[in-house]
């Protein structure tokens, strides 16, 4: 049963990240997840300093607020300082991460805030943190319930506001001409990315979230030119990587998160070579025929 819970947790995180990652790739902001994963460290420290507690909920709230601030600062530097998106991302997350390190060294040097767990996670511990109902009945691991809520929220937003998200991602200028608020849809998307990243901290860790945000959508991008299919394929790639990565880790007796990320990279490599639309073999065949 533990195998099932671990694979299900990885799959829920993978689908959530893959769906959002497709929009990030269209906006050329794939590294926003990486920025958020590092920039939330001062939020964790400040949450501890204000509450005096290392309670998981307190840490998640603090990290979530810093995640939203991170997205605002990235957009602010991009629009007001005229920085390129990648430069704005780099400036923001390195600055905030450094502030977090300074706060730890000054005020919490002797306290185990478990920032390594936030960054690297340990999905193998997921079945140990069960939600217990009255009467002692076990419902499900907390990570399953949290990620299910996150995924349902993402699916509802995409279902009801698919056109707005698609148009503002493909062509912001055209979206503005149609009367869409590009700023609102941008911050809504970034807010979902932040919430997904933070919600995944305790289960899979932020580093694996970054891999799942980028690699499955990039793989799907090589396999199709239809965006709806891209959403489906990227979700499928994430699920396959989660399941195969888990069994690879069991076979090698190694890190589950690292194995899942490795399988993501392997699936991307296969798509890069054998893709029927953008694969290396297809391009070489076309050149040979011409």
3: pLDDT strictly greater than 70: yes
pLDDT value at residue 170 = 82
Give the confidence band of 106 by pLDDT, cuts at 50, 70, 90.
Answer: confident
114: pLDDT strictly greater than 80: no
99-113, 185-199, 254-268: segment of lowest average pLDDT:
99-113
User: 2-123+146-202: which CATH topology?
Assistant: ABC transporter involved in vitamin B12 uptake, BtuC (1.10.3470)
pLDDT value at residue 120 = 57
Specify which residues 132 forms β-bridges with.
138
24 contacts 217 by C-beta, under 8 angstroms: yes
In this prediction the pTM is 0.86
Kindly state the percentage of the chain with pLDDT values over 90. Answer: 24
Of 197, 218, 167, nearest in space to 22 by CA: 218
pLDDT value at residue 177 = 81
pLDDT value at residue 95 = 87
261 contacts 245 by C-beta, under 8 angstroms: yes
35-44, 187-196, 281-290: segment of lowest average pLDDT:
281-290
User: Which contacts qualify for 57-66: CB closer than 8 Å, 24 or more apart?
Assistant: 59/113, 59/118, 59/201, 60/198, 60/199, 60/201, 60/202, 63/118, 63/198, 63/201, 64/40, 64/194, 64/195, 64/198, 66/39, 66/40, 66/41, 66/42, 66/96
**Domain assignments of the chain as residue spans, ordered by start:** 2-123+146-202
116: pLDDT strictly greater than 70: no
pLDDT value at residue 289 = 73
């Amino acid at each position: 049963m533990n195998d099932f819970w671990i694979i299900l947790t990885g799959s829920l995180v993978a689908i959530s990240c893959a769906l959002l990652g497709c929009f990030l790739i269209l906006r050329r902001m794939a590294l926003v997840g990486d920025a958020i994963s590092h920039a939330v460290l001062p939020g964790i420290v400040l949450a501890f300093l204000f509450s005096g507690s290392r309670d998981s909920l307190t840490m998640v709230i603090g990290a979530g607020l810093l995640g939203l601030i991170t997205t605002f600062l990235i957009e602010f530097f991009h629009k007001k300082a005229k920085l390129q998106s990648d430069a704005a991302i780099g400036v923001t997350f390195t600055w905030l991460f450094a502030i977090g390190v300074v706060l730890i060294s000054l005020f919490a040097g002797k306290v185990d805030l478990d920032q390594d767990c936030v960054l690297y996670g340990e999905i193998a511990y997921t079945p140990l943190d069960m939600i217990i109902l009255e009467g002692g009945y076990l419902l499900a691991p907390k990570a399953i319930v949290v990620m299910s809520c996150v995924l349902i929220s993402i699916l509802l937003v995409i279902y009801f506001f698919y056109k707005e998200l698609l148009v503002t991602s493909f062509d912001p200028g055209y979206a503005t001409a149609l009367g869409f608020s590009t700023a609102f849809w941008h911050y809504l998307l970034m807010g979902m990315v932040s919430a997904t990243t933070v919600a995944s901290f305790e289960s899979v860790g932020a580093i694996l979230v970054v891999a799942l945000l980028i690699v499955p959508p990039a793989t799907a991008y090589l396999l199709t030119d239809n965006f709806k299919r891209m959403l489906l394929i990227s979700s499928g790639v994430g699920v396959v990587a989660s399941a195969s990565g888990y069994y690879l880790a069991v076979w090698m007796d190694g890190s589950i998160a690292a194995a899942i990320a490795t399988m993501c990279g392997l699936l991307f490599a296969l798509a890069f070579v054998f893709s029927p639309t953008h694969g290396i073999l297809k391009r070489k065949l076309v050149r040979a025929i011409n």
